[in-house]
């Protein structure tokens, strides 16, 4: 499964001592994070814990006040933001949205939509998609960039609980197939725990990090997410069964 | 047809075409109030142009750009809500413009013609401005079109795709300022925003792609100019308002048609 022995290789992206402030409010301080090839790193944390801010800093979308972000120049990034707010007046088909990633071949676009579980949506209107369909289309667009690093901000937010398990399996399969690094922001604690290599528990700073089964017993984790029943938290996902 | 009507029609249609193409972005990006603010500040540009003795179109473009950049800066400071900020800039720059014009009473400025436009007084020189500026605007828009659509859909996504956001925004602001300078004498400061957004809104129901919507907006604007001119001649209405009324009627009529869209 996970290919964890990549400690000697250069990270796809690394942040050191990242600190972000809005006015007098400290959003993030002293955050260290790195994502390597073939690794799924999951950021979890309560609302307002700075997850999206950290992701935006790593992507170079905002400059952190303290610390530094480094990423080798050749690293291609596929990004799926938390939400799209396409104005209702903008007529935009899924095809057109996907084409913005630079690929126009109908065959390729259909193939990628099939892969993310959103077949036959190519000629649909973006603003009429359901939340879950939109998330899948956003993943497809990120994949079309043939990324070395895939950054997904709450990719399952609008997908039903049943679909989420499949979605995380899909993400793990993408990692296995393309050997890209994946940075995931998620609220699905128990589901994420099972298909991730490393968990970073964030609340303004890194509360704890490491392998999922270790983090899930860390006092700092339990303090933040203590209400989650241990039985669910410790569930380890198996890939060798099917959901038929 | 008298010459001044032909001039008015030629200038108006050229202007409406360019305003349709810019106007769709104003609608998609919810910049209507921003456009209003730039238009209001244009009067200050007229005053500045007169006072320092440069072409007033250049004065208008310069002042609009300064206001646009100031707006982007103030917004990044997050002291006030965006609409409050725009209100402050719009009204204070309009007041400054009015004050400057009245202070320099030597300026023989026909204020009403700047506020409401005077399309029937269009000269061949104005037509040259509209078409020269219009061709530049449409050319640059075509060059930046993909990037502008990409930013409109999602700014962060566009940036990770490698779009130069700052440059694209700055060029768009410049085009916007240029269009306001072109529109001012014809449609007037107070009605500029109307001709940007109403034809675009009327085009929405018929468009399946962003490009279609821009083309339909340009056509709707041109029809509004033609009808407005005709109405103004028939019933002796002020021309600027007549054109806006025609555009509004076109929008109302568009509501009778079903929404054209891709599946679902």
**CB interface of A with B, residues 1-40, below 8 Å:** none
Q: Is B153 in contact with A97 (Cβ distance < 8 A)?
A: yes
Distance in angstroms (rounded) separating the CA atoms of residues B112 and B184: 11
| A87 and A174 fall within a common domain | no
Answer whether A128 sits within 8 Å of B157, measured CB to CB: no
Q: Are residues A115 and A226 in the same domain?
A: no
A with B: how many residue pairs have Cβ under 8 Å apart?
74
What proportion of chain A, given as a percentage, has pLDDT over 70? 89
- pLDDT score for A227: 56
Residue A5: which pLDDT band, with cuts at 50, 70 and 90?
A: very low
Instruction: Tell me, yes or no, if B156 comes closer than 8 A to chain A by beta carbon.
Output: yes
Number of domains observed in the structure of chain A:
2
Q: How far apart are CA A198 and CA A201, in angstroms?
A: 10
Residue B214 inside a domain? The answer is yes
Chain B residue closest in CA terms to A150: B160
Residue A234 C-alpha, separation from nearest chain B C-alpha, in angstroms: 35
Put simply, whether B80 touches A (Cβ < 8 Å) is no
Count structural domains, chain B: 1
- Both A161 and A231 in one domain: the answer is yes
Residue of A nearest to B148 (CA): A100
A42: left (phi over 0), alpha (psi -120 to 50) or beta: beta
- For A166, A222, B23, B38, B179, the CA distances from B188, given in Å and listed in that order, are 58, 64, 16, 12, 12
The parent domain of residue A133 ranges over 83-146
Locate the chain A residue with the closest alpha carbon to B209: A91
Residue of A nearest to B197 (CA): A89
Phi, psi of A205 (to 5 degrees): -140, 175
Residue B230 forms part of a structural domain: yes
3-state secondary structure A174-214: HHHHHCCEEEEECCCHHHHHHCCCEEEEECCCEEEEECHHH
Give B18→chain A minimum CA distance, Å: 18
CA distance A227 to chain B (A): 34
Q: Residue A3's pLDDT is what?
A: 38
Cβ contact, residue pair A93, B201, below 8 Å: no
Claim to verify: residue A139 and residue A228 sit in the same structural domain: no
**d(CA A62, nearest CA chain B) in Å:** 10
Q: Chain B contacts of A96, Cβ < 8 Å?
A: 209-210
Determine whether the interchain pair B264/A128 forms a contact, defined as Cβ–Cβ distance below 8 Å.
Answer: yes
| A44 and A164 fall within a common domain | yes
Q: Does B204 touch chain A (CB under 8 A)?
A: yes
From B168, B196, B179, select the one nearest B137 (Cα to Cα).
Answer: B179
Query: CA B164 to CA B158: how far, in whole Å?
Result: 8
β-strand partners of A77: A149
| Strand locations in chain A (E) | 13-22, 25-35, 40-44, 66-70, 77-80, 149-153, 181-185, 198-202, 206-210
* Number of other residues whose CB lies within 10 A of the CB of residue A161: 9
pLDDT of A42-63, one tens digit each?
998 888 888 899 999 999 888 8
> Quick check: is B260 in a domain?
no
| Cross-chain Cβ contact A100/B201 below 8 Å | no
Q: Does the distance separating the beta carbons of A92 and B210 come in below 8 Å? A: yes
Kindly state whether residues A162 and A62 are assigned to the same domain. Answer: yes
| Residue that is last in its domain, among A124, A146, A168 | A146
For residue B144, give every residue at least 6 positions away whose Cβ sits within 8 Å of its Cβ, in sequence order, or none. Answer: B168, B171, B172
The answer on A13 and A113 residing in a single domain is no
Of B157, B213, B263, the CB nearest to A123: B263
Q: A152 and A236: one domain?
A: yes
Do the Cβ atoms of B204 and A89 come within 8 Å? yes
> A145 and chain B: CB distance < 8 Å anywhere?
yes
CATH of the domain at A168: 3.40.50.300
Q: Is residue B259 part of a domain?
A: no
Average pLDDT over residues A192-203: 84
Q: List, edge to edge, every strand of the sheet that includes A66-70.
A: A25-35, A13-22, A66-70
Is residue B231 within 8 A of residue B237, CB to CB? The reply is: yes
Residue-level pLDDT at A191:
77
Residue B30 burial class via C-beta count within 10 angstroms: exposed 0-12, middle 13-18, buried 19 and up: exposed
pLDDT in tens, A171-187: 989 999 988 999 999 87
Chain B nearest CA to A92, separation (Å): 6
Structure tokens, B86: 């725009």
**Residue B167 belongs to what domain range?**
3-254
**End residue of a domain, out of A146, A170, A200:** A146
Query: Is residue A190 scored above 60 in pLDDT?
Result: yes
Question: Over the Cα atoms of chain B, what is R_g?
Answer: 18
| Residues in B touching A86 (Cβ below 8 Å) | 153-154
Q: Of A93, A99, A135, A143, which is closest to residue A118 (Cα–Cα)?
A: A135
> How would you write the pLDDT of chain B (264 residues) with one tens digit per residue?
788 889 999 999 999 999 999 999 999 998 888 888 989 898 888 888 888 888 888 888 899 889 888 887 887 777 778 888 888 888 998 899 888 888 876 666 777 888 888 888 889 988 998 999 999 999 999 999 999 999 999 999 999 888 998 899 889 988 998 998 888 888 888 889 999 999 999 999 999 999 999 999 999 999 999 999 999 889 988 888 899 999 999 999 999 888 876 655
Looking at the fold, whether A66 and A152 belong to one and the same domain comes out as yes
Q: Does a structural domain hold residue B264?
A: no
- Residues A57 and A168 reside in one and the same domain: yes
CATH number of the domain enclosing B156: 1.10.3470.10
**Domain boundary residue, one of A146, A172, A187:** A146
If asked whether residues A190 and A204 sit together in one domain, one would say: yes
Q: Is B159 in Cβ contact with A61 (below 8 Å)? A: yes
Interface check B261 vs A, CB under 8 A: yes
Q: Are A68 and A36 in contact (CB under 8 A)?
A: no
Q: Which residues contact A60 (CB under 8 A, 6 or more apart)?
A: A69, A71, B159
Is the domain of A54 the same as that of A10? Answer: yes
| Alpha helix positions (H), B118-164 | 124-153, 155-160
């Amino acid at each position: 499964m996970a290919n964890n022995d990549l400690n000697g290789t250069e990270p796809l992206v690394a942040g050191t001592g990242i600190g972000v402030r809005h006015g007098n409010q400290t959003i993030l301080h002293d955050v260290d994070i790195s994502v390597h090839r073939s690794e799924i790193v999951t950021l979890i944390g309560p609302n307002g814990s700075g997850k999206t801010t950290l992701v935006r800093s790593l992507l170079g979308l905002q400059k952190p006040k303290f610390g530094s972000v480094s990423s080798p120049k050749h690293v291609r990034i596929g990004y799926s933001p938390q939400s799209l707010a396409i104005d209702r007046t903008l007529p935009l088909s899924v095809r057109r949205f996907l084409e913005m990633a630079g690929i126009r071949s109908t065959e390729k676009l259909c193939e990628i939509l099939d892969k993310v579980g959103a077949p036959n949506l190519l000629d649909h209107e973006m603003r009429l998609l359901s939340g879950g369909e939109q998330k899948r289309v956003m993943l497809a667009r990120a994949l079309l960039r043939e990324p070395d690093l895939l950054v997904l901000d709450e990719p399952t937010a609008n997908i039903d609980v049943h679909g989420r398990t499949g979605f995380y399996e899909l993400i793990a399969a993408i990692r296995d197939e393309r050997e890209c690094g994946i940075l995931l922001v998620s609220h699905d604690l128990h589901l994420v725990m099972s298909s991730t290599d490393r968990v970073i528990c964030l609340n303004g700073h890194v509360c704890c990090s490491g392998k999922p089964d270790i983090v899930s017993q860390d006092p700092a984790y339990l303090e933040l997410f203590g209400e989650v029943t241990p039985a669910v938290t410790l569930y380890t996902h198996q890939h060798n069964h099917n959901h038929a | 047809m008298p010459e001044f009507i032909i001039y008015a029609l030629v200038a108006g249609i050229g202007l409406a075409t360019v305003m349709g193409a810019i106007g769709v972005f104003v609608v998609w990006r919810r910049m209507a109030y921003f456009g209003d603010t730039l238009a209001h500040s244009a009067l200050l540009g007229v005053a500045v142009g007169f006072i320092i003795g440069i072409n007033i179109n250049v004065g208008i473009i310069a002042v609009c750009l300064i206001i646009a950049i100031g707006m982007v800066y103030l917004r990044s400071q997050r002291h006030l809500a965006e609409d409050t900020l725009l209100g402050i800039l719009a009204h204070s720059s309009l007041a400054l413009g009015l004050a400057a014009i009245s202070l320099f009473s030597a300026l023989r400025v026909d204020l009403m013609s700047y506020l409401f436009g005077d399309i029937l007084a269009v000269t061949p020189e104005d037509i040259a401005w509209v078409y020269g500026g219009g061709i530049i605007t449409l050319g640059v828009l075509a060059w930046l079109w993909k990037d502008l659509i990409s930013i409109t859909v999602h700014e962060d996504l566009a940036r990770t795709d490698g779009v130069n956001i700052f440059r694209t925004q700055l060029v768009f602001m410049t085009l916007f300022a240029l269009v306001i300078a072109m529109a001012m004498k014809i449609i007037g400061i107070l009605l500029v925003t109307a001709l940007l957004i109403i034809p675009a809104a009327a085009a929405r129901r018929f468009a399946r792609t962003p490009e279609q919507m821009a083309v339909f907006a340009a056509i709707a604007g041109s029809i509004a100019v033609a009808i407005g001119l005709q109405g103004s001649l028939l019933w002796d209405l002020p021309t600027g308002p007549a054109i806006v009324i025609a555009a509004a009627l076109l929008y109302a009529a568009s509501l009778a048609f079903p929404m054209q869209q891709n599946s679902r």
